[in-house]
Structure 1
Amino acid sequence: MISGILASSGIAFGKALLFKSDLIIINKKNIHDIEIESEIKKFLKSKKKSIKQLIEIKQKSKLIFNSKETEIFEGHIMLLEDEELEKEIINLIKKKNNTAAFAIELTISKQIQKIKKINNIYLQNRAIDIRDIGNRLLRNILNIKTVDLKNIKEKVILIANDLTPSETAQMNFKYIKGFITNLGGETAHTSIMARSLEIPAIVGTGNITHKVKNGDFIILDGINNKIFINPIQNIIDKLKKYKKKYLKKKKKLKKFRILPAITIDKKKIEISANVSNMQDIINAKKYGAESIGLYRTEFLFMDRMELPSEEEQFHEYKKAAIMMNNKTIIIRTMDIGGDKEIPYMNFPKEDNPFLGWRAIRISLDRKEILHAQLTAILRASSFGKLKILFPMIISVEEIQQLKYELEKIKFILNKKKIDFDKNIQIGIMIETPASAIISKYLIKEVDFFSIGTNDLTQYTLAVDRKNDLISHLYNPMNPSVLKLIKKVIDVSHKEEKWTGMCGEFAGNEKATILLLGMGLNEFSMNPSYIPKIKKIIRTTKFKHAKQLSKLVLQQNTTKKIQKLINNYFI
């Protein structure tokens, strides 16, 4: 049994089809001066042909994918049209007497190496896109036929070293039931496409192509992140039953998408979605989100080599506001740092980046970034119902400073007679013990709280959740974490304000009734979790949830808490 990185959930059965692209052999010998012009013409012809192919792929992908996925190919076209790229390739042909193919290979490899040196998973995933563009140029210049995945006519699970976005876009999903790769990550464009189409996919396995032969029977369990190769009949039967049960449950949950989250005894709860881009907002609406509880803006700052402009941010926030049709969107300011570095920010080397220069600390140090973002949010607020959320707050002074900066931006916009929501609400993330402990002071400064349980748990328990040696200690059901959550909720209610939660705990079905009983007002989660959380709330009495939470908060061990909750679900 093999596992990797779960890119897209679901379960698929089928024969393995190993996908290998034709080997590209490049002539590395120097050309004569007389051949320079003809090599340049070869390159320009290849470039023109590649752009034409990508335009066709983009048009075809519009019939399959949403706009976010087709934008991938727009990015590829823009890169091919980049004058600097063209200049670098032509310079190598002219000055180094390289063949056009070798000049392309050298230029593309240089860009990929530059990206790979950057400690940023999002940018590193873009190296795949650059390689895709380079290979397309090379195939066209060397007249190597591009492999056509549209011609597959039997049900298979595709096994590959890696898959490029253009290869994924051309798949015949009537027959390709899922795919597994050696390379890739959760944020790679191919993974995003798989999730968009709800095609099961596991990537980053390391060596799947060495363990599977053409025709092997594969079970891709994209629920539990397991891959079975030629399993015994007992496992096949067991997983077929599991898939049937999973699909039946998924179908039953569909009806809950459009229903409000109201308990049997009429307690109304807001169910929101965590999003990072337009595709996520489409999914949020599809799964029945009543609002966006967390718009992660840091993804606008990643996957690029420079800061996004105010104008660029404004257009993204405006699009989101219009798309949500006057439903609330809580926009979190840039939460960079920790495990999310960006190359152009020149991050200092830190022994403990999670305790270092990150989130609002960067924004307050680099006010030009904060000002551009706040201006963009305020301008977009005239197109919908936006709220501002500040991350990683640990003191009253930080909020007061942020409010001062916000008022400065409002004053400038007023002076310029630019429309914005004059009464835009602001909130803060509660994700450190410090903010939870002084929450009674913090709530007086803001309109709402949003609890980030991932960091709150990590910081409260002093446990790095990514450290395998101690990850078993990371548990938001720990009594100390639950007591802090309850304290924060109670403090906000005392001031007649509200508290939401946007950490993973909000989408945990075992935690739903407990959090409901604690008085949590808003649950924000991965869009696909929404139907099941709505179902739990709609089939629960609020008075029973309060009784359970009261009992849970009296316990002194995680084990006792989990036993109480498990018994409730029996």
Structure 2
Amino acid sequence: MARKIIGGIPVSSGVAIGKAFFLNRRKGSIKPRLAIFDAEVSKEIERLEHAILVVRQEMEEVKSKIPPELKEHEAILNSHLMILQDEKLFGRAKKIIQKQHINAEWAIEKSVFELEKIFNALDNEYIKQRIQDIHLVAEKVCAVLIGSQKTIPKISERVILLAHDLSPTDTVLLEVDKIMAFATALGGKTSHAGIMARSLQIPAVVGVEELEENIFDGELIILDGFEGKILIDPSEEELTKYTDLKYQFESYQALITRYCHLPAETIDGYQIRVFANIELFEEVTSVIDNGGEGIGLYRTEYSFLNRTDLPDEDELFEEYRDLASIMYPKPVIIRTLDIGADKVDNLFGQMEEANPALGLRGIRFCQKYKNIFRTQLRAILRAGVVGNLSIMFPMISGLHELQEVKKFYRQIQDELAKEGLDFNPDIPLGIMIELPAAVLIADLLAREVDFFSIGTNDLIQYALGIDRTNKHVSYLYQPLHPAVIRSIKHVVDAGHKAGIEVSLCGEVASDPFCVPILMGMEVDSISLTPRSIPGIKRIIRQASMEECKELLNKVLNSHDVFESNKIVRDMIFSRFPEELTFYTSLVDDKNNE
């Protein structure tokens, strides 16, 4: 048996066997806590400002040296540069120096602690995990203050890279061809280490407790990216087992990747388009590499986070234009801002909401803050000139609400026309169907738009009253619940009757146990995380519409979710045993929030 097995969060599937190589450790970076006199306050603030300037210059230099294989990650560095200008972090630290008469390192520590409390009070896991960005930037500034900036060590052989955390600066400067896998003590599903690992197609585990205390540099370890485990000093039996698993997975990945650019067409000729969900511009490369036929959901929230000001129209226009240009002629569906004021309280002040999930978010937020909505719509309309863009509105709950949004949209078009700016007046408009109210009036809503996109993540939660992140009730989160299947079927039928296309962009789209049912409903397209595309395409190409429709009818006639689960699993395991050997692991390897 291994000397010890430690666990974390799997964020990129696969197996790596090799020597451990620590990039950095937490210990050794202890920050001094010193009281200062009145006369030293201004000098201490100058120390802080100088350290911020040094880090900013370092990041700018790194940006200029980003290698081609990591060029798409420039957006992450830009977000860290914005944090350096954030008054809520370093402006707060300066005030702490002035009021409490303590040194800059201690003031930064206090400032980060206060921000961490605010972030942890939010209800969105993706937003919570952005505190890691603040930690990374704060650590870099403190390293300058205490004179402990570290140079990236030279890697002489292929290794499994371990670190307390990996910053974008670290990863850009690494020799990526010598890294077999990542493991970090910090981080979550959407941490930059995970994004980087998925982009490089290597295994990764983050949030590993006791990582730094238990592993020595040069020690042989096995990193299991399926289950999120690290085996330290493994036995011969474990080495044999994981070597075999590694070979099988790599062979399977090579097989499905080889054919991932083929259409997703069943053996009897039915074709369904397979798009990608992304939230960062840098993920475009992964979409193309994995055979994505377009982007079915571009989440635009990231551009509004980790900053002290709102993005202006030109900034958003350049982002959307570049995205549309790279993907052209493939389609890109841009979802307008789906965020609540509680997520950007640095811009709007803290808003007391007992239940933010049912509060001012999505289209409701945009209707209240029309200046933000206007800026985004103008940017999309202008970018539509160079690409195949569509616009999708989230959280629509009623017909009047949708009509008001469309009225405002037409006003924006009139503004652009009067100003003589080029824009695309014929961009297709769609809505997310994610509220039970929208399901029930899908026939009425379908007359007003060009397409539907069913967001099953929220729809299942709202329909079943389940918070899937709550460990006490998460077992009740059942995609094959009769109410969920019938709701999706109702929306698909209503859309098709009105002559519009219906897509599905929730996690159900990357679940091999659900995709055949969606095909049986004749959903026009599905949209999923890029890494999941090759496996789902392979399953579709081996299925027939006849068996998918038969499976759908059995599920629709089932009155119990446990019966539905059994019907589906029996069919899927008998038809696609090879695919499910690894693909069930990939289903859990998703970057959805």
Relative to the length of structure 2, the TM-score reads 0.85
Contact 1:396-1:442 at 8 Å conserved across structures: yes
Structure number with greater CO (CA < 8 Å, separation at least 6) is 2
Distance 1:411 1:486 in 2: 37
Distance 1:531 1:108, change over 3 A: same
- 5+ residue gaps, structure 1, are none
Identity of aligned residues (%): 36
Candidates 505, 509, 518, aligned match of 2:508: 505
Cα distance 1:519–1:83, how it changes in 2: closer, same or farther (>3 A)? closer
Deviation at 1:288, TM superposition (A): 1.3
**1:210 and 2:217 are equivalent in the alignment:** no
Q: 1:57 aligns with which of 56, 62, 68?
A: 62
For the Cα contact (< 8 Å) 1:432–1:456, is it kept in 2? yes
Query: What is the letter of the counterpart of residue 74 of structure 2?
Result: T
Paired amino acid for 2:152: D
Distance 1:419 1:45 in 2: 44
Q: In structure 2, what is the equivalent of residue 124 of structure 1?
A: 131
Shift in Å at residue 107 of structure 1? Answer: 5.4
Q: Residue 239 and residue 557 in structure 1: after superposition, are their counterparts in 2 closer, same or farther (change >3 A)?
A: farther
Match of 1:137 among 112, 134, 144: 144
Residue pair 2:90, 2:108 contacting (<8 A) in 1 also:
no
Question: Is the counterpart of residue 377 in structure 1 residue 380 in structure 2?
Answer: yes
Q: Is the 8 A contact 2:480 2:561 kept in 1?
A: yes
Conserved in 1, the CA contact under 8 Å of 2:52 and 2:141?
Answer: no
Task: Look up the equivalent residue of 1:118 and give its one-letter code.
Answer: I
Specify the SS of the correspondent of 2:6: coil
Question: Structure 1: how far apart are the matches of 2:373 and 2:42?
Answer: 50
Instruction: Extract unaligned runs of 5+ from structure 2.
Output: 120-126, 575-593
Say whether the 8 Å CA contact 2:75–2:281 is kept in structure 1. Answer: no
How far off its partner does 1:44 sit?
A: 8.4
Matched residue of 1:271: which SS? strand
Query: Which of these residues, 260, 268, 271, is aligned with residue 271 of structure 2?
Result: 268
| C-alpha distance in structure 2 between counterparts of 1:86 and 1:297, whole Å | 26
Which residue of structure 1 lines up, in the alignment, with residue 582 of structure 2? none
Q: Secondary structure at the match of 2:230?
A: strand
Q: Using the TM superposition, give the Cα deviation of residue 108 of structure 1 relative to its aligned residue in structure 2, in angstroms.
A: 3.6
- Structure 1 distance, partners of 2:500, 2:410, is 22
Supply the distance in 1 between the matched residues of 2:273 and 2:168 (Cα, whole angstroms). 36
Does the alignment pair 1:307 with 2:295?
no
| 8 A Cα contact 1:253 1:532, kept in partner | yes
Alignment of 1:352-501 (within 5 A): 352-501=355-504
Residue 422 of structure 1 and its aligned partner are, at CA, apart by 1.8
C-alpha change, 1:317 and 1:555, in structure 2 (3 Å) is: same
- Aligned equivalents of 2:505, 2:387: Cα separation in 1: 21
Shift of 1:425: 1.4
Flag the structure with larger Rg.
1
d(CA) in 1 for partners of 2:521, 2:275? 18
Q: Match for 1:9: what amino acid?
A: S
- Deviation (angstroms), 1:272: 0.6
Greater Cα offset, 77-86 or 554-563: 77-86
How far did 1:155 drift?
Answer: 4.3
> What is the CA distance between 1:167 and its match in structure 2?
2.9
DSSP 3-state at the match of 2:16:
strand
Asked whether the 8 Å contact 2:265–2:540 carries over to 1, the reply is yes
Question: Is the partner of 1:274 in helix, strand or coil?
Answer: strand
Could you report, residue by residue, the CA deviation over 1:46-73 in whole angstroms, capped at 9, with x for unpaired residues? 7776556445533443254123x23444
Classify the secondary structure of the residue corresponding to 2:371: helix
Q: What amino acid is aligned across from residue 462 of structure 1 in structure 2?
A: G
Equivalent in 148, 154, 158 of residue 152 of structure 2: 148
Q: C-alpha distance in 2, partners of 1:376/1:45?
A: 36
Q: 1:399 to 1:52 in 2, by over 3 A?
A: closer
Q: What is the alpha-carbon root mean square deviation over aligned residues?
A: 3.3
**Corresponding residue for residue 337 of structure 1:** 340
Given that 1:338 and 1:356 are in contact with CA atoms closer than 8 Å, whether structure 2 keeps it comes out as: no
Worse overlay, 511-520 or 558-567: 558-567
2:181 is paired with a residue whose SS is strand
- Count of matched residue pairs: 560
Q: Deviation digits for residues 310-344 of structure 1, max 9, x if unmatched?
A: 22222211111111113211111111139956542
- Residue 470 of structure 1: CA displacement? 1.2
Match of 1:284 among 278, 283, 287: 287
Kindly indicate whether the alpha-carbon contact (under 8 Å) linking 1:162 and 1:183 is maintained by their aligned counterparts in 2: yes
Q: C-alpha distance in 2, partners of 1:433/1:79?
A: 38
Change (3 A) 1:265 1:138: same
> Equivalent of 1:242, from 245, 252, 255?
245
Q: Distance in 1 between matches of 2:341 and 2:87?
A: 35
Q: Secondary structure at the match of 2:282?
A: helix
With over 3 angstroms needed to count, the CA separation of the structure-2 counterparts of 1:86 and 1:484, relative to structure 1, is closer
